[in-house]
Structure formats: C-alpha cells, structure tokens
Amino acid sequence: MISRLLLIFCLIPVAALASSLNRPVLSLVIDDLGYSFTAAKQVIDLPGNHSFSIIPGVTYSQKIAKYANSQNKEILLHLPMQSSDPTGPEEMNSLNIEMSEQQVINRVNILLKTFPNIKGINNHMGSRLTALDFYMKPVMESIKKYNNSLYFLDSRTTPLSRAYQVALNSGLNTLERDVFLDNEPNVESIWVQFNIWLNKSRKNGASIAIAHPHSDTIKFLNDNISRFTLDYEFRTISELIAINNPPRQEKQSWPKYLSHLHQGLKILKQ
C-alpha cells in the first residue's frame, strides 16, 4: 500500500504539487516604466512581491532601474518590438522586420546591457514581430547566449504570438501572460480583469497579470492588493519559474534556423 502511494505521489507534476501545497500564486508585472519616476516609484512601493519591466532609452529608465535595485525589486528589460499598428514613440527603436538577422542580434545585445541585474525580458508591443518564428529565434538565442539564466515572459500582445514557444525551444525559461489588468484603465474594468486573474490562479495554481502605471491602476492596486495577501501568494516571475521548474527543450541550433529567415520574408511579401 505504501509503495502504491509513493508511486502516485511521484507521478504528480511539479506544478500540481506547488499549487496543492501553497496558496494560489499571483504574479504581477508592471510594464511600460520609464516615462514617469513618480508613477514608477508608486508601483515599486506597492505591497507584495512583484516584477517591474522598464523600457530602455526613455527619460527616467535608468533612475527607475536604480531605485528598483535599491529596493531589491525584480526588474525586466521591456524589449521594444514592432507592432501591427505602429503609433508609439518607441517604434523607431524597436526590433522590426526590416532588420537583418545580424541587426536583430546586435540590437538585442545592446539593449540587454541597458540595465544591470535584470532577471528577465518581456516584449513591449510586438504584435507584428512576435508572430514570426524566424524573427523570434535570433532574439531568444541572443538572450540565451548573453545570459542563459534570464527568462522570457511572452506579453502576448497578439493571440498569434510565437514568442513563448520559440523561447521554450531555444532552451530559455519562459512563461506567458494570462491577464492584462488595465487595457481599459478604469476601476470597473480593472475589477473585472482582477477577478479573472484570481480565478485563473485558483484554477491553475498560479496566474500572471500585466498592468501599467496608470493613475487609476496605481490607486486600485494600492487600495486592494493587501486584501488578498492572506488567500494568495504574490510572487515574482523568477520565483514562479522556480516553483514550477519547467523543463527546457533544446532543439535545433539557431545558425541553421536562421537560414530560413529570408524564406520567411519572401512568404510575407507575397
């Protein structure tokens, strides 16, 4: 009887064990930091253990990164990528389909050096580029070569995103965003998304939400996060990865894969 119980226990996935032994986990990432130090400080000072994604090269990026590091907060590089509707000022500095693979590699390497002590990367915008496997491959392999302990969080700015799967195939630790809390930054809409976040966490053991430093979002989080700390655990993305310990799937090497880049571009232009 004991041996049968041990066998059953060993067959339970690590993620299932994590969710059964702990409270549901909520991972919150605050995106788009860099334009306002005041707003960034307010979200960095929120109660709970969260992650903060900073856009490189904008006004307060370095000051925000320095402050977050001084508070022992987890920071990500918010890597700009081409969107399907290019309107933001960051588009000029984003990875885009006009770049050669070497230009992609060079740009990623430059941006990875922007902030010290990053734990991971997630895409800023990217609804155009993340849908293209053959562009995601050099991005992920560049990250891996730079520091293979970094993770990639797919922000999923498009349901067509291939970023998560390519990151996984490249051997990076990777997860996907479950909920955007404030695509409509008003209290009513945020409550709806917040409850979806809670429900997903209860159902799956953990759930990842992305929010932004809007004034209504900051007030909402300040007013409500502490109410849920008894029933849920707030964990950073790197802590969530450590809990679940997802397997890395090493596949084909990227120099061979990059030989398909121009074939992919030809298909796009047809």
Residue 2 located in a structural domain: no
Residue 70 located in a structural domain: yes
Residue 185 located in a structural domain: yes
Q: What range defines the domain where residue 97 resides?
A: 25-269
Among 70, 66, 52, smallest CA distance to 115 is for 66
Q: What's the structural domain count of the chain?
A: 1
Burial 255-269 (b: 16+ CB within 10 A, else e): eebbeebeeebeeee
Residue 6 located in a structural domain: no
Residue 127 located in a structural domain: yes
| pLDDT of res. 85 | 75
| pLDDT of res. 35 | 96
Residue 1 located in a structural domain: no
Q: What is the CATH number of the domain that holds 114?
A: 3.20.20.370
| pLDDT of res. 5 | 39
Q: What is the mean pLDDT of each run of 10 residues along the chain (270 residues)?
A: 37 39 88 98 96 96 98 97 72 83 96 96 94 95 97 96 96 97 96 98 96 97 95 96 63 45 50
| pLDDT of res. 250 | 43
Per the structure block, which two tokens stand in for 171? 């051997």
